């Protein structure tokens, strides 16, 4: 991002968007430091929060990572007591992964920290600008 007002005027929409994205990621990473979770671990916790217990292979698909990488993420989360594993009764070769009570509490705390950080970032915008930005981002997402 450019430092001067004139330089900011020359900044493209794409450059401004990526600069805001980087800022939000950086601020969120700092906000999540108390839980000492990696981005992959945080994403896995989020998927399990939204979808509940699932096969390890399904978790890997949701995370768009290789099953071996998902195994490493789950190993780390299990070691910290945030997830549990059990054999899938429908297929003993498959493993089901679920959040533990501590994992659910951590998921709530992470969600709250992310929400607070987003609120801090967008606090500079007035209500009308926030509504318009929300509308635009939803249109781009969809």
Average pLDDT over residues 99-114: 95
Residue 48 maps to a domain: yes
Residue 88 maps to a domain: yes
Reference 111, options 20, 22, 47; nearest CA is: 47
* Tens-place pLDDT, residues 40-83: 899 999 999 999 999 999 999 999 999 999 999 999 999 999 99
Range of the domain at 84: 13-141
Task: Say what the pTM is.
Answer: 0.78
For residue 31, the domain's CATH number is: 1.10.10.10
Domain count, the chain: 1
- pLDDT category of residue 139 using cuts at 50, 70 and 90: very high
Render 7-46 in DSSP notation, one character per residue: HHHH--HHHHHHHHHHHHHHHHHHHTGGGT--HHHHHHHH
Alpha-carbon distances, residue 56 vs 34, 46, 128 (angstroms)? 26, 14, 43
């Amino acid at each position: 991002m450019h430092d001067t007002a004139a330089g900011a005027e020359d900044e493209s929409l794409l450059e401004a968007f990526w600069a805001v994205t980087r800022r939000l990621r950086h601020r969120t990473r700092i906000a999540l430091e108390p839980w000492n979770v990696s981005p992959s671990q945080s994403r896995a916790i989020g998927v399990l929060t939204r979808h509940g217990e699932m096969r390890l292979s399904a978790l890997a698909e949701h995370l768009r990572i290789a099953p071996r990488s998902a195994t490493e993420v789950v190993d780390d989360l299990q070691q910290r007591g945030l997830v549990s594993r059990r054999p899938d009764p429908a297929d003993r070769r498959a493993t089901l992964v679920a959040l533990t009570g501590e994992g659910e509490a951590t998921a709530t705390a992470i969600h709250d920290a992310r929400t607070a950080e987003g609120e801090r970032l967008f606090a500079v915008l007035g209500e009308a600008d926030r509504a318009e930005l929300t509308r635009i981002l939803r249109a781009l997402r969809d």
